[in-house]
């Protein structure tokens, strides 16, 4: 966040972003990882993913603040320690209403804020790669980044005065494209696209190099940013 690390350098566009990151209660998060990681480890991995995501996002150039929307008290406390502002999921109506709620909360404080949504399961996230995505996003009213598989979305942005209009879940890439959001195609941002839902996804993230909390749970060394 601005004032931490290199964030005062901006994102290359002179724009400072508020990021909204959603997180399900840990008891139900990342259910598809249970087969690969085991049910006992699954909630801990979900939290570690979110911690590594928030920690990297908070120091990315161009990021002013990070807002996490979650009803999980443990996760909320841990992510607040990393500097995130934590909001309860007041709508309680699913992912997209939670994201819209987070965006409204950001703009209640900063009406002209550019807002972006970032997935909470990006344990390999690199601040410099996120900064490149934010810089590209600044050129469009709304934009998105597809996930590594090419069907979902890991990032959605809205410039000042523009509604976020999130349409996450399942094949959201096509929904965001049809909604008028511009797809970001900048190269070299694999860590921003590498969300983790399955064991195969986790292995791919480990190959990229994950943050310290995910590394501690998986026994894999962290690769330097």
3-state class percentages of the chain: helix first, strand second, coil last, to nearest 5? 40, 15, 45
218 marked as part of a ligand binding site: no
Question: Which structure tokens are listed for 150?
Answer: 């090419």
Cβ(210)–Cβ(195) below 8 Å = no
Give the H/E segment covering residue 217.
helix 212-218
DSSP 3-state of 67 = strand
DSSP state for residue 32 in the 8-state scheme? G
172 marked as part of a ligand binding site: yes
d(CA 63, CA 3): 10
Instruction: Give the count of beta carbons closer than 10 Å to the beta carbon of residue 92.
Output: 10
**Nearest residue to 209 via CA among 59, 38, 79, 52:** 52
Cβ(21)–Cβ(120) below 8 Å = yes
d(CA 3, CA 32): 37
53 marked as part of a ligand binding site: no
Q: Residues 6 or more apart from 225 whose CB is under 8 A from it?
A: 56, 126, 127, 128
Q: Which residues are annotated binding-site positions for phosphoenolpyruvate?
A: 153, 169, 172
Q: Which residues are annotated binding-site positions?
A: 153, 169, 172
């Amino acid at each position: 966040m601005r004032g931490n690390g290199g964030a005062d350098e901006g994102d290359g566009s002179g724009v400072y972003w508020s990021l909204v990151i959603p997180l399900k209660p840990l008891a139900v998060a990342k259910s598809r990882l249970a087969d690969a990681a085991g049910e006992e480890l699954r909630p801990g991995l979900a939290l570690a993913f979110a911690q590594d995501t928030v920690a990297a996002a908070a120091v990315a150039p161009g990021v002013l603040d990070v807002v996490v929307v979650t009803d999980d008290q443990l996760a909320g406390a841990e992510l607040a320690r990393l500097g995130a502002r934590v909001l309860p999921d007041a709508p309680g109506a699913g992912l997209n209403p939670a994201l819209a709620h987070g965006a409204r909360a950001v703009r209640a404080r900063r009406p002209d804020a550019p807002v972006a949504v970032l997935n909470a399961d990006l344990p390999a996230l690199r601040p410099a790669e996120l900064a490149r995505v934010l810089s590209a996003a600044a050129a469009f009213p709304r934009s998105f980044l597809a996930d590594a598989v090419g069907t979902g979305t890991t990032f959605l942005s809205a410039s000042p005065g523009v509604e976020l209009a999130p349409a996450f879940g399942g094949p959201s890439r096509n929904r965001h494209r049809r909604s008028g959001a511009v797809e970001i195609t900048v190269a070299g941002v694999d860590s921003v696209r590498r969300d983790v839902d399955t064991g195969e996804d986790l292995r791919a993230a480990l190959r990229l190099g994950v943050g310290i909390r995910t590394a501690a749970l998986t026994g894999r060394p962290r690769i330097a940013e």
